[in-house]
Structure 1
């Protein structure tokens, strides 16, 4: 009788573990490339805006076992473009700025946060790694414009970082120290 009870408990435990494993796999959603955008903006010392975009990226939203969410974003530096200028794009990718050959990605991994952040807005804290330097940063998430943010409308977050904190010290004579990032993220349709 005790052996039978132990076998049942072991079987239930195995089902629970397998269900948890499949739930963990099903709780990861990638970004929808048709809607997701990662942009940056800098200012010249003369007040002009310099706008750029990272068209190639990887990322996901992971729902953790406790129900909190965690976001991971990886931007591909050698894909970045600055407006429609080949010259500025080349300079931004070059060794005096992002240095794409040595530092091919920019990565942000958020701290676990409540799911309501995407709906209500607030601070998204995490670790930004750029140009070989990793630091704690936070971005502002705007309140959602729909009931299912990330599915039916973009989740929009923005924030700025100091270039000097990441040793992005090229072109100081022409560019201010702040880089503003804007992220518009939508998840892949369910089932894709």
Structure 2
């Protein structure tokens, strides 16, 4: 009787873990670029980038896919502006020491989205605050998106929604994430 209970429990655990066990993942290529754009109140565009990131595209059972992306805030750089770089890592923006990672986890999507373009829904977490976010994926410029060309996705957020409301008089509340993703070439199928 005890053996049957253990086997039943093992079956339940295995059934719950099956999606994770049967999914495969492909990690991002170092050629990927993940960043954002800010505008000052005087119209100057500031380009930010995460110099360190990790994540993958998971192939889920049934053929759908899911993006899991982690961008490390301590690596943030505002291109050409060291003082703005320090500010974005500080407690007044990303608060990198306390919140070291910005994450985006998509909902499952069909791979055809990468070719035709469209909406990629998911959850964006910044400073410990998670909100639903939809990125717009641009239509592909090649036959094998993410391998032969970048998959480009953009999405705007308000800093104030993530408690990053310092310097509102100088820097716009709107932040546009710009993600240019490639997957590791060894994972490409012919």
For the aligned pair, the TM-score class normalised by the smaller chain equals 0.7 to 0.9
Q: TM (normalized to structure 2)?
A: 0.86
State the Cα deviation string for residues 28-75 of structure 1 (Å, max 9, x = none): 100000x20011111111111111100100110001011001001100
Which residue of 42, 48, 69 maps to 1:52? Answer: 48
Corresponding position: 1:149 with 2:150: no
State the Cα deviation string for residues 95-132 of structure 1 (Å, max 9, x = none): 11111011100000000011101111000000000011
Q: Does the 8 A contact of 2:26 with 2:187 survive in 1?
A: no
Q: Give the superposed CA RMSD.
A: 1.9
User: How many equivalent residue pairs?
Assistant: 172
Which residue of 21, 25, 42 maps to 1:28? Answer: 25
Corresponding position: 1:131 with 2:127: yes
Residue ranges of structure 1 left out of the alignment (5+ in a row): 1-16
Which residue of 37, 41, 64 maps to 2:37? Answer: 41
Q: Counterparts of 1:62 and 1:97 in 2: how far apart (Å)?
A: 30
Aligned to 1:5: none
Q: Counterparts of 1:39 and 1:143 in 2: how far apart (Å)?
A: 19
Describe the SS at the equivalent of 1:171. Answer: coil
Aligned to 2:61: 65
Shift of 1:161: 0.4
Shift of 1:85: 2.1
Q: TM (normalized to structure 1)?
A: 0.85
Residue ranges of structure 2 left out of the alignment (5+ in a row): 1-14
- Which has the larger Rg? 1
Q: Which runs of 4+ in 1 moved over 6 A?
A: none
Q: Counterparts of 1:65 and 1:169 in 2: how far apart (Å)?
A: 41
Q: Counterparts of 2:92 and 2:187 in 1: how far apart (Å)?
A: 43
Corresponding position: 1:187 with 2:183: yes
Which residue of 118, 121, 129 maps to 1:122? Answer: 118
Shift of 1:191: 5.0
